[in-house]
Amino acid sequence: MTIRRTLIAANWKMNGDIALLDSMLSVIDSEGVISDTVEALICPSFTLLGAFDKQSNVCLGAQNVSQHDSGAYTGEISIEMLKQAACEYVIVGHSERREIYAETDQIVAEKFVQIARAGLKPVLCLGESLEQRESNFTEKVLAQQIAAVIDASDVNDWAHAVIAYEPIWAIGTGKTATPEMAQETHAFIRENLRSHSKTHDIAETMRILYGGSMKPDNAVDLLSQADIDGGLVGGASLDPNSFISILKAAS
C-alpha cells in the first residue's frame, strides 16, 4: 500500500497581506493539524514570501515563475529568486495563467522543468472548461496538458511533482465537482501517468489535489475519495477558520 501524504494548499492569488499571513501561520501551527499524514502549504503573493516565518511547520510556495533564468524580463521572477526566498513549491499552469496571460502548454512545460531542475516542487495545474466537459473532451484535454509536460521533461523532473486537477468551471464559482465526478477524473489522471514511461513509476505515489470551490462543508467528502490526495484552495484559504476546517477534514 502506498501512503500519499495529504497536501492542503492555499492559493491566495492576488489577495492577502502580512496580517493574514501572520494569523494564518499562528492558527495552523497552534492547532497541531500538520502531521505525518497531513501537510499544509501557503502560496501567497511574491511580496509576502520574505515575511513568511521560516520557523513555521507550514510550507511556503509561489504562484508562478518565469521560464527564463535571468535577464531583461521586466516584472518576472526567476526560480533562483524563489529558491532564495525559501520557497519549496511553485504552482505552474494555473488556468488563470493559461487563460488571462496566454500561457500555452509549451510555456507551462518549460516552467515545470525550470522548477524541478532547481530542486523545487512543481504543483502542475490541469483542468477543462465547462464547454470542454459538456462536449466530453475532459479526458482529451487533460491528456494533452499532461503530454506537453511529459514531452519536455525527464523522468527525474517528476520525482517531487504534485498535480492539481482544477476544473475551470468550478473555480471561484461555488460549483464543485461532485466527489464521484472528481474521483473519476483523478483516477483517469493517475492512469494516464501510469501509461507514460516517464511517469509510470511515480503514478501511484503522485499526489493529485482537487481545486475548485473546496470548502469546509465539502472537504470531507472530496478528500475521502481514493485518488484525491489533497486540495488546492482559493477563496476558502483566505479565512483562517475555513482553511483550518479543511486541514482538519484532511486528518
Name the site residues for ligand 13P (rule: CB under 6 A).
11, 94, 166, 171-172, 211-214, 232-236
> In the annotation, is 110 catalytic?
no
> φ and ψ at 208, to 5 degrees?
-115, 110
Catalytic residue among 39, 94, 96, 103: 94
Which of 54/220 has CB closer to ligand 13P? 220
Which of 155/220 has CB closer to ligand 13P? 220
Catalytic residue among 103, 128, 166, 186: 166
Residues forming beta bridges with residue 53, ordered by sequence position: none
Residues forming beta bridges with residue 166, ordered by sequence position: none
Inter-residue contact 105 to 150 (CB < 8 Å): no
CB of 176 to ligand 13P, least distance (A): 8
Q: What is the CA radius of gyration of the chain?
A: 17
CB of 102 to ligand 13P, least distance (A): 18
Which of 34/92 has CB closer to ligand 13P? 92
- As a whole number of angstroms, the distance between CA 228 and CA 128 comes to 17
- As a whole number of angstroms, the distance between CA 164 and CA 234 comes to 12
- As a whole number of angstroms, the distance between CA 20 and CA 66 comes to 26
CB of 247 to ligand 13P, least distance (A): 14
Grid coordinates of 40? 499544509
Which of 154/239 has CB closer to ligand 13P? 239
Inter-residue contact 227 to 190 (CB < 8 Å): yes
Contacts with 97 (C-beta within 8 Å, 6 or more apart), sequence order = 64, 103, 108
CB of 14 to ligand 13P, least distance (A): 12
Q: Which residue is nearest to ligand 13P (CB)?
A: 234
> In the annotation, is 131 catalytic?
no
- As a whole number of angstroms, the distance between CA 4 and CA 37 comes to 8
CB of 55 to ligand 13P, least distance (A): 26
- As a whole number of angstroms, the distance between CA 123 and CA 210 comes to 12
Which of 119/172 has CB closer to ligand 13P? 172
- As a whole number of angstroms, the distance between CA 8 and CA 69 comes to 29
CB of 1 to ligand 13P, least distance (A): 29
Which of 155/181 has CB closer to ligand 13P? 181
Residues noted as catalytic: 94, 166
